[in-house]
Structure 1
Amino acid sequence: MAVRVPWIISLLVLALWLFSPVGYAQSGSTTGTITGRVCDASGAVIGGTEMVCLQVGTGIQRTVQSREDGTYEFLNLPPGDYELRARAAGFEDRRQTIRLSLGTTALVVITLATAGTTDVIEVVADARNAAESATNIRQNEIPALPINRRDFLQFAITAARTVPDNLPDQGATATSGISFNAQSPRLNNLTIDGLDNNDATSGSIRSTFSQEAVREFQVVSDGYSAEFGRALGGIINIITKSGDNQFRGSLFGFFRNAALSARESLTPGKPPFEQYQYGLTAGGPLWRNRAFFFVTGERLNIRQNTVVTISDTVRAAALRNGFRFETGSIPFSTGGSTALVRGDWQITPEDNLTVRYNYGGQVNTAFEPFGGLTASTFTGEQRLTDHNLAVNNTFVSQQAFVVESRFLYSTRLQDIGATDPGPRIAINAPEGQVIFGKSLVLPQFRDTQTYQFFTSVGLVRGRHQMKFGGDVLRVDSRQRQPASEGGQAIFSAVSLAALGGPPGSPSMSALQAFDPTLRTPQQQAVLALIGAGLPNRFPGFPVLPLDVLPITNDYRQGFLDPQPTRIPQTAWSLFALDDVSLHPAVRLNLGVRYDLIRARSTPENKGFVSPRIALVWQPLQKLTVRSGYGLFTASNLTFPIFTIVPLTRRTLVLPFPFSILPFTQPNRQLPPSGDFPFGIQPVPQFGLEFQFARRLPVSYTQQASLSLESQLGSTLFSVVYNYVRGNRILSLRNINPVVRPGVDPLDSVINGRLDPRRGTVNEYAAAYDSYYHGVTFGVERRVGRFTGRASYTLSKAIDNYVDFRTSLQEFAEPLDVRQERALSIQDARHRLVMSGVWKLDYSKHLLLRDYTLSYIFTAVSGRPWNLLAGVDLNRNGDANDRPAGLGRNVGVTPAFYNLDVRLARRCINRDRFKLEGIVEAFNLFNRTNVREFGRTFPPVNPPLNTEFNLPPRRGGRFIVTPDRYRRAFPPRQIQVGFRMTF
């Protein structure tokens, strides 16, 4: 049965697609609803009233009849301005105007007056009858808020319980960049016009386009309905703009450079910087009241520098050993173009068809991040092209019957070359871990094709608003294996006695282990003695002058198949939901969703059923109580699959003394053919393997929430409590470490492992969990010339994992994950965010009117960080130990404060032509917000390893001192621009 279920789901979805009425549109995930009842002045309901809903911009209208109980619904309405008309015999016509937002329900009670009364026009605010926590960035806010680089994804940061990803920059394996409720930033779901827009490899965002093309932006942080899936964190829901009955267009441009920017406090000078961003939009009718178009294009060019702060001592040591890189200000550039074309056709009053194509192209000469203690040799050049075609259809009958269908085809080609041939060198130097050479994930080639079919049916029956449907998401990706190609070595402090020297032999610092010229005569003598004895210990081992060679305890190198590996993945889902009106003041939301994912080389499971329930109670007219509980699952990511696909790669992990052999080769690494030098065959314990656990159950979260909302005039106050429990989270650990360490490190590696027949075994397992508790206080105000929102969140997040990338694994004892249970790296104990748009138009004076001021202010308390010793204290085969047995993430970074502001003025303000001048300042007060810092604190007196130069404590947690600052977020940058609309 488990094999046949996907075909049953596929046939059902295909049947709904093929046999649904011709013409479809967007669903509740991209639309809103107007509902209510009709009554007379005495409160008696009026059935049979003709209700007409007219979309003001397009002239498209729908007509329904109110039921016997006076109720009516207009389902699946695109966000925008509407005029609602009510006509009943014996009563005067009534009109009301409504501004409908994405994912909201406007509750409109129509009171008809007897004949002879004039029309009344009122404006009704949005209301939501769902229990999810959602923040809507509306059409008037999108162009007005100060968004750096006009990246519309940054709108998510204005919502509560969303924080920037606290992991280091990931480059080619980037995350989405946003963590919801402290969950992994790889496990969110971003949809555009109700269709998937996620990179299935790493969990980042697939395609982007101009901010000008965004009509409305919704952030759903938890409690989303069963129609949404494939997310443990949150949902980002975007709908694109469409044309209407009026021709409109715009031209815009923005510019910033070093002269308009402040100097970064961690760099000695002000490096060159230039950024140009410009574009256009156009939209209007193809056939008045029936067909419309909208197009936009945008270009971004950046020329900038990043400062590498590696000390002259380390750079000189690298040069002496054949590794060349530059320090100081290093230039690089980024350029990208985006385009979007959308057409809308109202085939009949009931049927709508939308077709969208968007393109993105990018060249980035520094795609893997560098700067600070990471040299520019670490980076690579990315070339990316992305094409997307989406078709959305909807049929809405007068009987409140809705059939929706959507189709997506996307092709994404990414090619990233390596700047340096390698190997990758990491030195635990006094200033921190210095990295130069090649990134482990480069070069990388990825070609991904994505197909999605979605269809659903919705209907209203009495007190029930029901909806059911499903989709099939197919991702077919070809990728050249990205992990561990080329060599890598980490140099740490080392005891010469542990390497085979006589008792009492001295130790070497990490820099001395790397650079032989820095060694003392005593160290050189001991190394020469050790080298002379190696052929006796290992027959056939060459006689090598260890005193003049780099000495590392660990060297590894991958040998990969040059042909790309193909990984197909298919996800099926079914959902059903019912919105039940138990009472005019009580609504019950019920939903259930089934998800099943099949991918090559992964253990199969039977899928996952995720029920959801929510209650909305309005005891008073201005007070709403919401509560909900549900299970939520994530989509599979193919990055782990590409790591373990058999027969595509072979990796050697060489302990001392074999670890020194690659440094005798011309390129400081083994030949790419994979032949081991000197005819020595490495033992199996020198291998590195990746595997999935035998069972791989579905990762899921339990989410519960309770909120109170009160409307006082034009201000909405809210208090929300959220609980999120992550279960069976996928991550990576070494399940075959050294458990029986001996005096001889090599003997420990060969005979001391848990399974002495194998080497290092990195296993992906759904064996990790997380806990999140948060209370959010929010306020939102929309009145007159001011629109603003603010939220403060007090939260705590605990987990026992970091990420699935091997370079991020820092388990002290990988076989005991209970020791890793600590504050999450995504924990943000206190977070305050405020944003607003204020139209300063209080004066009739020509120079004091037509201004708009907007802002985004963010304050986040210090985030957790992990202290490392940089040496293998417990001799289990890794160097991820923490000093003096400290727990995980016991450090805390400085707090983050940032204020972005935007001041715009319309210099020309005519009906058909407007010209606006714009000045934006990002990080207005030029605060130094630390982005990267030194985390390694080696022993003071190795090999005793009992004393460490730890940073000071404050409030029981170690703080980052200024001498450890390595990189900061950008300083104050001022941008000027213009916008011309016609």
Structure 2
Amino acid sequence: MNPSFKMLLTILRLSSLLNVLMIASLIANGTVQQKASMLAQTSRLILTITDERDQPVIGARCALLTADERRTLVEAVSDDQGHASFTDLKPGVYTLRVVREGFAPLVLKEVAIESATETSLSVSLSIAPLAANVTVNASNTLSTEIEAGATITNTLMKREELRFLPISAQRVFDALPLTPGVIRSPKGELSIKGAQESQSALIVNGVHANDPATGNFRLNLPLDSVEEVQVFQHPYTVEYGRFIGGITQVITKRGGESFHWELNDFLPDFRFKGGKLVGVAEDAPRLTLNGPIIKDKLFFAQSASYTIAKNPVRGLTFPDNETKIESQSYFSQFDLIINSKHTQTITIGYFPEHDQFLTLNFFRPRPVTPNYKQRDFSTALRDNYALFNGLLESTVSYKRFNAEVWGQGQADHDFFPIGESGNYFAQQKRHALSFEFFEVYQAPPLRRPWNTLHELKFGFDFIRVSAHTDYHANPVNIFRGDGTLAERIVFDNRHAKPISVANYEYSGFIQDRLHLRANLSLDLGLRYENQRINVQTNLAPRAGFAWAPFKDGKTVVRGGIGVFFDKVPLNIRSFSFYPGRLVTRYTTDGHTILDRRYYRNVLVNTKPIEPFDLRRRDPDAGFVPENLTWNLELARQVSTRLLLRINYLHSATESIYILNPETDFRGQTAIVLRSAGEAQYRAFEIMARFKLRRNDLFYVSYVRSRARGDLNDFNSYFGDVGAPIIRQNQYSNLPFDVPHRLLAWGTLSLPHRITIAPIIEWRTGFPYSRLDAEQRFVGLRNNDTTRFPPFFSLDLEAAKTFQVTRRYGVRLALRSFNITNHFNPQNVHANIADPRFGTFFASSSRTFAGSFDILF
């Protein structure tokens, strides 16, 4: 090729390359100028938030919304100086919303943002008016707000959520197992955080409601009277006491601004046998009324319900396969707003109940079952007064618990390898009273050196409880498989007399929530408890933290550690006065006496060490059960519709009251009650909350847990329905130990006012123990190798609401339980002398029920 031509081609190529570079440079320059022009048009809003005393408010949640308030555009949290900033804002008109616990929400409309400017805005938050706090404002479950502190509810269930769920009985406690870490034991009691029901606290509107004698939950409150239910597994705020398990807090519903009434479930569910109608299976009509008595001053809420239920028991034949429950519930609440600084609330409740053929199953037919009757009454007065910019709460409550347990006759209670016969062995009547005075003051936020904000709360609690019990027991016989008598227990009723016992409890506490920075808060507190029945003074320190490591505030790490002391049920202090027992053992011929021993009931304060001397017994001995709990939790707001929580919990308890038959060094025998038992609970929990269309909520949780401890707890043998045969105590899996549990539930709103609410549960089966022909345990009790098959259930409620007139509506619902008809056995042949040993049976099959509600 000609060199001149080559040079020309090179020049042309260089020229083309330069043109391309120039064009690219012009385009890039135009883009930069366009971006710079756009940035020049964006703006910044600097917000300063103070309180009524011009002190900075930290941790306030600020949000800019569209002018119509339909959509949130950007959020921020105020820092240590009370500043919150919004950047890269487009010019326009916005709505500003500022929310902080303890202050009245602030909403500013028509906040104008101009282009290319920095706008400064100062706002002042006022203390929330008392009239808006007639009911307790609870922290939202799965909260990612630092202001909620270290203690948040594991589950917060609103009435509107609960009423649509497929719950067999529309009562508060039937909904609690929807909480991770809460499970209903094989005996029907609730276990929270791996503890017995008697070891947890029930609080209704701020005051305790446990049965003083047994410690169990006795509130027969319908869902219609409830505003919300909260469950705490690790509350580090020291205002809570008298428990080593968890806390169930019930807040009742107040009357509204307008009159409202509902009539629910007034049509009965009929019973069909062989295609024929055979009476009524269940009827549970509930009436609720609420509204103003004096406009803006006095409000009332009234609920009344009646329930009759004939529940079939699998494994038995009709008509001897049904238990019968008949109960009533009356609850009234009056809320008086005296002025913006002073409110009062009065509640009155009466809850009678009568249960027939309690604990009926294949092995315990009707003649062997006990009956149960209760007459509970409660009343409380709560006074709220705004004092020195804080809130003073004063509560006085009085409760009366009457209970009676008796058998179907006076025959001996007989045990065989294949089941029981005769009549239930024990009869008892009990009257218990409880009086409580609770005073707490929530001080206004105080700023101290090092720019920390303190939220102080302190108060005291005085409780007097008493119980009066009559207890008698009939003989118990243990027969071998061939019908020969192996053992006979005769109770010493000769000196039986009414048992009376009382206790005074004094407690005081001080709590400080320190806001060190906008993204970090600490809860520090100390609780003092004095239970005169033990002459024991306890100090319970607790500490927790909440930390948001990222600027968006959507991730929160929480944790804490605390010491907790239990209440002492009065039945425990009555133990020495229960009738002793003469135990006679026979040889294989059933007539020749092998051994005869008399066991008296002894309460001691020594550990089970040798040499043991029964002469050192002390009716006032024992210690208050003590628990140490710590946890670490991570919560993340993944999106506006999804929130995740991961939590690890460790709980260790000591000084639990445990029964054991013992012999001292002199050969004297006794049933010894010691506060020497131990228990441990560990749980790893993953929970997700989905917010669906129309703000429906759906929860999914998985819990990997372990609950182990001493098995001879007092209530298993001397509770309302006790057991007469006491064998040696063992440390093993607790009866409600469930290593794996997957739970999903929620509500789904569909078009045409249709609602679907499923509950899905899969879990490991409960453990059980093997027995021999003489009702002695074989091997380790509640072993992992002796468990029921895995449990699975899909329950569903489908409902539709019809608007009949402008003022009246009708709601029809159909509930279905165990839709898949999964094999969920309730019984097992656990006696090795039983010909059907090892067979599981009596599964709950698929059932249906309906409801009809009238809405006004």
**Is TM > 0.5 for Structure 1 vs Structure 2?**
yes
Specify the alignment match of 1:34 in structure 2: none
Specify the alignment match of 1:178 in structure 2: 190
- Deviation at 1:469? 0.8
User: What per-residue deviation string (whole Å, max 9, x for no partner) do you get for residues 361-401 of structure 1?
Assistant: 112222x312201121222333321111111111124x531
Specify the alignment match of 1:392 in structure 2: 382
Specify the alignment match of 2:793 in structure 1: 898
2:523 is matched with which residue: 578, 584, 589?
Answer: 589
Structure 1 contact 724–772 (Cα < 8 Å) conserved:
yes
- Between the aligned partners of 2:44 and 2:290, the Cα distance in structure 1 is 43
Specify the alignment match of 1:565 in structure 2: 499
TM-score (normalizing by structure 1): 0.69
Mapped pair 1:610 → 2:540: yes
- Between the aligned partners of 2:627 and 2:216, the Cα distance in structure 1 is 20
CA distance 1:95–1:352, shift in 2 (3 Å): farther
Mapped pair 1:443 → 2:446: no
Structure 1 contact 210–339 (Cα < 8 Å) conserved:
no
Structure 2 contact 643–689 (Cα < 8 Å) conserved:
yes
Mapped pair 1:722 → 2:634: no
AA of the residue aligned to 2:411: G
- Between the aligned partners of 2:170 and 2:95, the Cα distance in structure 1 is 42
SS of aligned partner of 2:360 = coil
User: What per-residue deviation string (whole Å, max 9, x for no partner) do you get for residues 188-207 of structure 1?
Assistant: 11111111111122222122
Q: How does 1:877-956 map to 2 (within 5 A)?
A: 880-883=776-779, 888=783, 890-908=785-803, 912-938=807-833
Structure 2 contact 241–564 (Cα < 8 Å) conserved:
yes
- Deviation at 1:271? 9.2
2:624 is matched with which residue: 678, 698, 717?
Answer: 698
CA distance 1:886–1:778, shift in 2 (3 Å): closer
- Deviation at 1:653? 2.2
- Between the aligned partners of 2:831 and 2:279, the Cα distance in structure 1 is 31
Q: Which has the larger radius of gyration?
A: 2
- Between the aligned partners of 1:732 and 1:270, the Cα distance in structure 2 is 49
In terms of fraction of residues, the more strand-rich structure is 2
- Between the aligned partners of 1:613 and 1:729, the Cα distance in structure 2 is 24
AA of the residue aligned to 1:466: L
Q: How does 1:677-716 map to 2 (within 5 A)?
A: 685-694=597-606, 695-711=621-637, 712-716=639-643
AA of the residue aligned to 1:686: Y
Specify the alignment match of 2:743 in structure 1: 833
Q: How does 1:814-825 map to 2 (within 5 A)?
A: 814=729, 820-825=730-735
1:45 is matched with which residue: 36, 48, 52?
Answer: 48
Structure 1 contact 227–575 (Cα < 8 Å) conserved:
yes
Mapped pair 1:457 → 2:445: no
2:700 is matched with which residue: 778, 790, 810?
Answer: 790
- Between the aligned partners of 2:259 and 2:375, the Cα distance in structure 1 is 31
1:408 is matched with which residue: 397, 400, 413?
Answer: 397
AA of the residue aligned to 2:562: G
SS of aligned partner of 1:636 = coil
AA of the residue aligned to 1:731: I
User: What per-residue deviation string (whole Å, max 9, x for no partner) do you get for residues 763-803 of structure 1?
Assistant: 11121212222111111122432211111011222223242
CA distance 1:361–1:350, shift in 2 (3 Å): same
Specify the alignment match of 1:303 in structure 2: 310
User: What per-residue deviation string (whole Å, max 9, x for no partner) do you get for residues 70-102 of structure 1?
Assistant: 56999xxxxxxxxxxxxxxxxx9977598x9xx
Specify the alignment match of 1:532 in structure 2: none
- Deviation at 1:901? 1.1
Q: How does 1:649-688 map to 2 (within 5 A)?
A: 649-656=579-586, 685-688=597-600
Specify the alignment match of 1:131 in structure 2: 150
CA distance 1:511–1:184, shift in 2 (3 Å): same
- Between the aligned partners of 1:346 and 1:262, the Cα distance in structure 2 is 58
- Between the aligned partners of 2:313 and 2:785, the Cα distance in structure 1 is 30
- Deviation at 1:68? 3.2
- Between the aligned partners of 2:230 and 2:668, the Cα distance in structure 1 is 50
CA distance 1:108–1:341, shift in 2 (3 Å): closer
User: What per-residue deviation string (whole Å, max 9, x for no partner) do you get for residues 126-176 of structure 1?
Assistant: 65523235210023212222221112112211111111113x46xxxxxxx
Specify the alignment match of 2:566 in structure 1: 634
Specify the alignment match of 1:981 in structure 2: 855
Mapped pair 1:781 → 2:690: yes
Q: How does 1:209-220 map to 2 (within 5 A)?
A: 209-220=221-232
CA distance 1:972–1:771, shift in 2 (3 Å): same
AA of the residue aligned to 2:514: V
Structure 1 contact 802–825 (Cα < 8 Å) conserved:
no
- Between the aligned partners of 2:812 and 2:653, the Cα distance in structure 1 is 47
- Deviation at 1:109? 8.2
AA of the residue aligned to 1:511: D
Specify the alignment match of 1:206 in structure 2: 218
AA of the residue aligned to 2:293: L
CA distance 1:693–1:271, shift in 2 (3 Å): farther
Root-mean-square deviation over aligned CA pairs = 3.7
Specify the alignment match of 2:74 in structure 1: none
Specify the alignment match of 2:483 in structure 1: 512
1:373 is matched with which residue: 363, 368, 372?
Answer: 363
- Deviation at 1:910? 5.8
Structure 2 contact 658–673 (Cα < 8 Å) conserved:
yes
AA of the residue aligned to 1:279: R
AA of the residue aligned to 2:399: S
CA distance 1:489–1:651, shift in 2 (3 Å): same
Specify the alignment match of 2:35 in structure 1: none
- Deviation at 1:722? 0.8
1:556 is matched with which residue: 463, 475, 490?
Answer: 490
- Between the aligned partners of 1:655 and 1:917, the Cα distance in structure 2 is 60
Specify the alignment match of 1:28 in structure 2: none
AA of the residue aligned to 1:771: Q
Identity across the alignment (%)? 18
- Between the aligned partners of 2:97 and 2:438, the Cα distance in structure 1 is 34
Structure 2 contact 627–653 (Cα < 8 Å) conserved:
yes
Specify the alignment match of 2:668 in structure 1: 758
CA distance 1:453–1:148, shift in 2 (3 Å): same
- Between the aligned partners of 1:693 and 1:230, the Cα distance in structure 2 is 21
- Deviation at 1:555? 3.2
Structure 1 contact 422–438 (Cα < 8 Å) conserved:
yes
SS of aligned partner of 1:917 = strand
- Between the aligned partners of 1:261 and 1:707, the Cα distance in structure 2 is 52
SS of aligned partner of 1:395 = strand
- Deviation at 1:308? 6.6
1:164 is matched with which residue: 178, 184, 197?
Answer: 184
CA distance 1:45–1:386, shift in 2 (3 Å): same
Structure 2 contact 626–653 (Cα < 8 Å) conserved:
yes
Q: How does 1:254-403 map to 2 (within 5 A)?
A: 257=269, 274-306=281-313, 329-366=320-357, 368-397=358-387, 399-403=388-392
Mapped pair 1:67 → 2:86: no
Mapped pair 1:418 → 2:407: yes
- Between the aligned partners of 2:224 and 2:788, the Cα distance in structure 1 is 36
Mapped pair 1:187 → 2:199: yes
AA of the residue aligned to 2:576: I
- Between the aligned partners of 1:858 and 1:890, the Cα distance in structure 2 is 22
User: What per-residue deviation string (whole Å, max 9, x for no partner) do you get for residues 848-871 of structure 1?
Assistant: x11011122221112222222344
CA distance 1:909–1:372, shift in 2 (3 Å): same
- Deviation at 1:351? 0.9
- Deviation at 1:238? 0.6
CA distance 1:610–1:249, shift in 2 (3 Å): same
- Between the aligned partners of 2:171 and 2:273, the Cα distance in structure 1 is 20
- Deviation at 1:262? 11
SS of aligned partner of 2:475 = strand
SS of aligned partner of 1:286 = strand
Structure 1 contact 795–830 (Cα < 8 Å) conserved:
yes
- Deviation at 1:255? 5.0
SS of aligned partner of 1:589 = strand
- Between the aligned partners of 2:174 and 2:630, the Cα distance in structure 1 is 26
TM-score (normalizing by structure 2): 0.78
